[in-house]
Structure 1
Amino acid sequence: MTFLVALDTGSDLFWLPCNCTSCAPTVSTGNGFGSEITIYNPNMSMTSQRLPCESNLCEVQKGCSETSQCPYKIVYVSAETSSSGFLVEDILYLTTEDARPEIVEAQIVFGCGQVQTGSFLDAAAPNGLLGLGLEKVSVPSILSSKGLTSDSFSMCFSQDGFGRISFGDQGTSDQDETPLHINQVHPTYNISITGVVVGNTSEDVEFSTLFDTGTSFTYLANPTYSFLTDNFNAQTDAIRHGPDPRVPFEYCYNMTSNDTSTIRVPNISMKTEGGGMFSVSEPGLVVSLQENELVYCLAVVKSSKLNIIGQNFMTGLHIVFDRERKVLGWKKFNCYDVEDSNPLPVNPSHSSLSPSVRDNYKPEDTKENKNDTAKVTSLTPLSYSPRTNFIPLVSLVWFLLCIFLADIC
């Protein structure tokens, strides 16, 4: 079966729509595909079984004993968005990325999502979400604990929306790296930034930022936000669009055509702990306000406190989350290429190429608040990350995850 899932390093559980009481419509246009939503049915798989109560992956022991199955519920930060159901085990089939690809069987645990609420009923992960966090229930954690891969994975986000994810990938010797700082209370991927460069201007800074593929855009608190946006605006050769409640961005510029090359913008880079330069290739995006009215926006949102490097800053890069060495690696990369890396697995187990399609952002893709200002959606659950002061946009980049569950392919 094939599922179009959102990838989220800010949460842990992998869940799919299943035995639905409240799920997204089976034919969804909210994700831009107009495609049929796949529903997982555990009764159609001879290898599917409920997760037993005594499993160390069942965290709700009391509820489990009452129903003979392990329930789950994840409440996400914004728009009353949640997923709930029960945990199941089944076989995930992956393919290796070598000269002679092989099929690798992996028994994983994931959520049979019976009830979705909020944004999950529309554009945010209508066909499921693949949590890639650090807790033991995440797919990367399960694969490494079973000795199928090293404790690492990588993702690549192409500028045209194509993407790939590889489990067990530890990157290459020529990649830039910086230490990962993992919060033990709410385990998330955090790095330290020591400098920001915008065009011909630079500034020494010192702050920690969450690295989150589940957030479409980048969120920065002052003084970094003001430094970056003020210098970006000063060095951008275009007419600035006035304040507009239809978009969540402060710095937008009028476009006279669909060609973004008509707008000249400065390069943006961030200096990380250890000296590695994280160069941003896609800091902005084109927003369609209405027919024949386009603006180019710097896709950075002002935060009251927390900093998040979102998916837009990762575009055009091969990003390695090396949990084993506790480093984040990156290098400029064409996501269509298959490159020799250093997976170091017991049995090499990488996912196959995963095509993705990116929607053009439109203001109506967001929820509206009472003041008619754009409200945006987060994929990160309340229980894992203290994001409470703002609501990041759901990732608009999707990955077509081919999940071959035994007996229902």
Structure 2
Amino acid sequence: MACLTSLPFLVLLFTTTAFTLAAGDTFRVDLHHRFSDKVRQWAESKGLPSTWHPEKAPVGSVEYYKELIRHDRALLSQRGRSLAATDVYTFAAGNETVRVGTLGNLHYAVVTVGTPNQTFLVAMDTGSDLFWLPCNCKQCAPLTSPLYGNLEFSIFNTNESSTSKAISCGSSKCNVPTSVHASCTGTSSDCIYTINYASVNTSSSGFLVEDVLYLAKGDTGADIVQTPIVFGCGEVQTGSFLKSGAPNGLMGLGMDNLSVPTMLAKKGLTSDSFSMCFGADGSGRLNFGDKGSLDQSETPLIVDNYPFYNISLEQMVIGNSSTKSSFTALVDSGTSFTILDKQIYKEITTTFTEQVTETQISDASLPFEYCYQFSAGQTKVVLPIVNLTTKGGSQFPVLHPIVYLVSETSQAPIGYCLALLPSTNINIIGQNFLTGLRIVFDREKMVLGWKKFDCYNSETSTGSPIDKKASAPSPGAQAPSTLFPEATQLPGRKSWAPVLSPSIILNTAFSVFLVFFGMF
């Protein structure tokens, strides 16, 4: 979204060209509508594209008003939010995040660093700590790809930023998290890092630098501030980072000393808390310093040897039954789908299957083990409520436990899958179980908070159309983007669509849109 500065407006870019930030005294300006000819002419004179200009949506059309309403609802959500006593900060380009199916099905935000400033589309990951960008590249993801649409990514060059400083081994800022391996040959040498991720053979390595990060201050995002932060100059990436997962950088939002939320809190810019909202349509929000609201549910964060966002779950309630197992799970925005230990996974899938009426599909080509076929002429889906009972008794609602199978010919839903994956000795609450909620990571109180939220206004959302054992609308009457969130695109961002991976034919009856299972 656009933020007001001393310029008439701030233009948000989604290409390698960076927007210009200026500071100065208050002065008189003329106000123009953001879709007006004046605004378009100003942007073109600066070599910048207009923000959210509905070029393919004629004035007065349905799409034109959808864009206006969507943007205005986003502004209302910020102004109606219950704020903490300290300031809330967002990225200079706005607090919006977007889930991109072809890029690991993760939430991304536009992040701006350096002088002159450069913009990057960066994955948001609560399961790790380090913020890194492709930088001085020896082995990085390509700058263009069919997976990126019309986007052309940039590479950060430390020599081209006047505010960039390499961190030396003798600096206290070389004190990296235990999850990051640092190596030094002397106190004056660069602080070299390597970080490995859960995805097979996936890593980033390079050296640590300090440079400015651009943030928008306050509820309106009217004031742009620059704050020095430490991040990784990622010279060499491997594994998923060379394919479709986080090709333009990753921001670790964990609890250790090199995560961005920690650095902002230590500088006194924000309270030691932040929130992420995961919308069912793929659009979300991230706000640093947000401590949530008084009416949110909470459970303690369980921090053992290494600080992760772990929570304790006493049981899982599925319809009229509950599981017996209690366990600890990591809340991780960097994992697409929820992953549970095999024993717990079996309890849940068995209990779920006993309470649905559809016939289970047995097909190894399907991305999930527990999938179900619609019967001929079926127009409604009735699912059991799924809730996680957390330590303290608060119920964590799972509003979107399934993904739909879609016909290749008609694109109508023809079945669904319980979106769970089995593992050995690891439990992760992934992005799909967070959908429809605003999640608050309060590191001061050491609690995880949550509230039903649609990411656009301050009221609780109505939840999933299949929530509370209600009959869902006729699947055939809805567009695939409604039933399968990964089909969503954002207004004005045509280059990010479609975000669905290509379909594959499973047999003569079925095809399914497969999604890359991001896990960092």
| TM-score in terms of structure 2 length | 0.62
| 42, 51, 62: which one aligns with 2:158 | 42
- Deviation (angstroms), 1:358: 9.0
- Deviation (angstroms), 1:92: 0.8
Query: What secondary structure, in the 3-state scheme, does the structure 2 residue paired with 1:220 have?
Result: strand
Query: What secondary structure, in the 3-state scheme, does the structure 2 residue paired with 1:263 have?
Result: coil
- Deviation (angstroms), 1:97: 3.9
Map of 1:233 onto structure 2: 353
- The 3 A distance-change label for structure 1 pair 112 and 266 is same
Map of 2:427 onto structure 1: 307
Deviates more, 1:133-142 or 1:77-86: 77-86
Higher relative contact order (CA 8 A, sep 6+): 1
Give, in whole Å, the separation in 2 of the partners of 1:155 and 1:85: 28
Q: Return 5+ residue gaps in structure 2 as ranges.
A: 1-117, 176-180, 460-492, 505-513
Map of 2:444 onto structure 1: 324
Give, in whole Å, the separation in 1 of the partners of 2:210 and 2:378: 47
Note if 1:154 corresponds to 2:275.
Answer: yes
Query: What secondary structure, in the 3-state scheme, does the structure 1 residue paired with 2:349 have?
Result: helix
Give, in whole Å, the separation in 2 of the partners of 1:35 and 1:256: 41
Give, in whole Å, the separation in 2 of the partners of 1:274 and 1:67: 50
Give, in whole Å, the separation in 2 of the partners of 1:123 and 1:288: 23
- The 3 A distance-change label for structure 1 pair 362 and 268 is farther
Query: What secondary structure, in the 3-state scheme, does the structure 1 residue paired with 2:195 have?
Result: strand
Does the Cα contact within 8 Å between 2:299 and 2:392 map onto a contact in 1?
yes
Note if 1:21 corresponds to 2:111.
Answer: no
- The 3 A distance-change label for structure 1 pair 81 and 218 is same
- The 3 A distance-change label for structure 1 pair 287 and 11 is farther
Spell out the pairing of 1:168-247 with structure 2 (5 A cutoff).
Answer: 168-183=289-304, 185-247=305-367
Q: Return 5+ residue gaps in structure 1 as ranges.
A: 340-354, 365-374, 378-392, 397-409
Does the Cα contact within 8 Å between 1:198 and 1:268 map onto a contact in 2?
yes
Does the Cα contact within 8 Å between 1:311 and 1:395 map onto a contact in 2?
no
The alignment covers a number of residue pairs equal to: 352
- Deviation (angstroms), 1:2: 2.6
Does the Cα contact within 8 Å between 1:286 and 1:360 map onto a contact in 2?
no
The AA in structure 2 aligned to 1:265 is L
- Identity %, equivalent residues: 49
The AA in structure 1 aligned to 2:197 is Y
Does the Cα contact within 8 Å between 1:288 and 1:362 map onto a contact in 2?
no
- The 3 A distance-change label for structure 1 pair 225 and 299 is same
Note if 1:359 corresponds to 2:499.
Answer: yes
Query: What secondary structure, in the 3-state scheme, does the structure 1 residue paired with 2:173 have?
Result: coil
- The 3 A distance-change label for structure 1 pair 188 and 76 is same
Does the Cα contact within 8 Å between 1:236 and 1:263 map onto a contact in 2?
no
Give, in whole Å, the separation in 2 of the partners of 1:234 and 1:218: 20
- The 3 A distance-change label for structure 1 pair 93 and 310 is same
Map of 2:403 onto structure 1: 285
| 155, 171, 184: which one aligns with 1:55 | 171
Map of 1:352 onto structure 2: none
Note if 1:4 corresponds to 2:121.
Answer: yes
Give, in whole Å, the separation in 1 of the partners of 2:217 and 2:356: 44
Give the aligned CA root-mean-square deviation in angstroms.
3.0
Map of 1:253 onto structure 2: 372
Query: What secondary structure, in the 3-state scheme, does the structure 2 residue paired with 1:225 have?
Result: helix
- Deviation (angstroms), 1:138: 0.6
Deviates more, 1:69-78 or 1:115-124: 69-78
Note if 1:103 corresponds to 2:224.
Answer: yes
Does the Cα contact within 8 Å between 1:286 and 1:361 map onto a contact in 2?
no
- The 3 A distance-change label for structure 1 pair 140 and 336 is same
The AA in structure 2 aligned to 1:201 is S
- Deviation (angstroms), 1:255: 5.5
- Deviation (angstroms), 1:362: 6.1
Q: Deviations over 1:91-137 (max 9, x none)?
A: 11111242473223221111111111111001110011010111101
Give, in whole Å, the separation in 1 of the partners of 2:193 and 2:405: 37
Max Rg structure? 2
Give, in whole Å, the separation in 2 of the partners of 1:8 and 1:68: 29
Give, in whole Å, the separation in 1 of the partners of 2:364 and 2:501: 15
The AA in structure 2 aligned to 1:254 is Q
- Deviation (angstroms), 1:253: 2.2
Note if 1:264 corresponds to 2:382.
Answer: yes
- Deviation (angstroms), 1:290: 6.4
Query: What secondary structure, in the 3-state scheme, does the structure 2 residue paired with 1:57 have?
Result: helix
